[in-house]
Amino acid sequence: MFGDIESALRRNLQVREYAEEYAKSFLDAYVATQIKVIREQRGMTQSELGSCIGTTQAGVSRYEDVNYSSWSLRTLMKIARAFDVRLRVSFEPYGTLPGEVIRFDRARLETADRENDPGITGVRVNAEDVADRAVDIGAYRALAQMGQSAGKDIGGKTDGSDGDYEGTGTRDDRTGRALERGESSVFGLYSAIG
């Protein structure tokens, strides 16, 4: 059954106007449904979410309507913050759409908040694993904006004595700027780019 739907969708996506309209409609439905699913997963009412993002229950209801299409990044960022998740926006080829449509279900729309995210709570950065990697400049700037120096561990440990999170100076060759790694950081400051 899914194979037939996927094949038909792939054929129809070859027509530009169809592809554009279908992708837009799917995006609107995806965003609205994920807002509702995560809100319910968090045990929040529409009014409670509205209070967090500076709107009313009716405003949240509008965002959860699959026919709503006036998204702003500012609003989506507020919603992401209220859910304690990051917002991801990307450009994708049309060929990825059939797979997304087939995998569109509640379980895939739910997401852990930052506090319970196994990707950050279950992984510790070891200095030996990141010795030759560049600093993630986004994380570096985020720390700077929070008023923290890259050399301080927000958790309180600053000497790196347990062997984890130690760092040394590095150079970001793509920008030609020297960046200092912090002696300790629990924020995953190091990128996977070597």
The pTM for the full model equals 0.62
The per-residue DSSP string of 150-161 comes to TT--TTS--S-T
Instruction: State the first-to-last Cα distance of the chain, in angstroms, to the nearest integer.
Output: 44
Domains within the chain, CATH numbers bracketed:
2-116 (1.10.260.40), 124-180 (no CATH)
Q: What percent of the chain has pLDDT over 90?
A: 53
Query: Per residue in 21-53, pLDDT tens?
Result: 999 999 999 999 999 999 999 999 999 999 999
Query: Per residue in 40-95, pLDDT tens?
Result: 999 999 999 999 999 999 999 999 999 999 999 999 999 999 999 999 999 999 99
CA distance 152 to 137: 16
Residue 24's contacts (CB-CB under 8 Å, 6 or more residues apart) are 69
CA distance 125 to 86: 20
Collapse the DSSP code of 4 into the 3-class scheme (helix H, G, I; strand E, B; otherwise coil) and give the result. helix
pLDDT band at 151 (very low <50, low <70, confident <90, very high): very low
pLDDT surpasses 50 at 135 = no
Compute the radius of gyration of the chain from its Cα atoms: 21
Collapse the DSSP code of 120 into the 3-class scheme (helix H, G, I; strand E, B; otherwise coil) and give the result. helix
Q: What percent of the chain has pLDDT over 70?
A: 62
Residue 31's contacts (CB-CB under 8 Å, 6 or more residues apart) are 71, 76
